[in-house]
Amino acid sequence: MKNYNNWMIQTSYEPKSTAFDLCEKTKVKINGSSEKIECIINDANEWQTDITIILLIRKGVYDIKTGFGSKPAVKKGRVDFWTVDEVKEFLDGLEHRHRIIFVLAIYTGMRRGEILGLRWRDIDLVFGQIRISQILAFKGEIKDGANTVSGNRSISTPPIVVPELRMHRTTIIREKWETQEEYKDYDLVVCRKNGMPVSWSNFHKFWLRILSKTKVRPIRFHDLRHTCASILLSGGIHPKIVQELLGHSSIKITLDTYSHMMPNIQADAVKTLEKMLN
């Protein structure tokens, strides 16, 4: 012990401060390492996005001329959609903070701006009703009403959507409590962790990241709306009901867009007529 004390005095170390100094040095190293790791992760995410864009350009899902900063052009006559099996595979493997976006798009056919602008006050969780009364426009401004008169509508949601909404609301309430004064309450269903709206460009980025991680065939986000319509029409739902659900201004738009998805309607109509007359 005597030799130890002499050594500590000679090296100008105090026994009581040795452990503390070691902890401080270790803390600095850990903080420095954490920053480096965070940078590596951010770079990896950017690289993943770039690779995803290249792959989706080749598949025709992403338009290089519009990119993240411009409103994506919807090409007339081009309708793509997932099958029921593809929808199940996509949702079964989807664990994401914004999962509710894709649930609403697939089960209700809502447009992107309608989903991003949806407020909790416009949802009846008891009866499963959603009222479209405002949208988040492409440039980020919140606008009252929908893009068209027919877009201002009420939507009856399938029973499976309500539990998804309740679970998502629990997440939002928790984040609101955690951020407190930093939280900007716009009453939005889909928002950032501080309550602010999700921009179209950021939305498009994480949509591409999700596509890169799923094994399901990649499609545009707008094609989830087509997926909803195709499943309903193939299930025998009348086009007029589909028109009202999607918020089309006329049934002509619905029929012109999805008539190729209803090849059996005319045959079924003829059989029904024959059955009634005989």
**For the segment 81-115, what is each residue's pLDDT rounded down to a tens digit?**
999 999 999 999 888 889 999 999 999 999 999 99
- Band (pLDDT 50/70/90 cuts) for residue 234 is confident
Q: Whose structure tokens read 């595979």?
A: 89
What is the H or E stretch that residue 268 is in?
A: helix 265-277
Handedness of CA 54, 86, 207, 210 (dihedral sign): negative
- pLDDT for 146 equals 65
Residue 267 neighbours by CB distance under 10 Å: 9
State yes or no: pLDDT of 8 exceeds 90: no
129: helix, strand or coil: strand
- pLDDT for 183 equals 92
Q: Distance between CA atoms of 206 and 98, rounded to whole angstroms? A: 9
What strands lie across the sheet with 154-156, from one edge to the other? 123-124, 129-131, 154-156
Please indicate, yes or no, whether the overall pTM of this predicted structure exceeds 0.75: no
Q: Give the residue-averaged pLDDT of 118-136.
A: 96
User: Where in the chain are the domains?
Assistant: 94-252
Taking the domain 94-252, which CATH number applies?
1.10.443.10
State yes or no: pLDDT of 42 exceeds 70: no
- Band (pLDDT 50/70/90 cuts) for residue 66 is very low
Report percent pLDDT > 90 for the chain: 45
What are the CA-CA distances from residue 99 to residues 60, 94, 190, 206 (Å)?
Answer: 24, 7, 10, 11
Q: Give the residue-averaged pLDDT of 252-277.
A: 78
Asked if residues 244 and 253 have their Cβ atoms less than 8 Å apart, the reply is no
119: helix, strand or coil: strand
Asked if residues 195 and 186 have their Cβ atoms less than 8 Å apart, the reply is yes
In sequence order, which residues have a C-beta less than 8 Å from that of residue 8 and are 6 or more positions away? 14, 15
- pLDDT for 15 equals 47
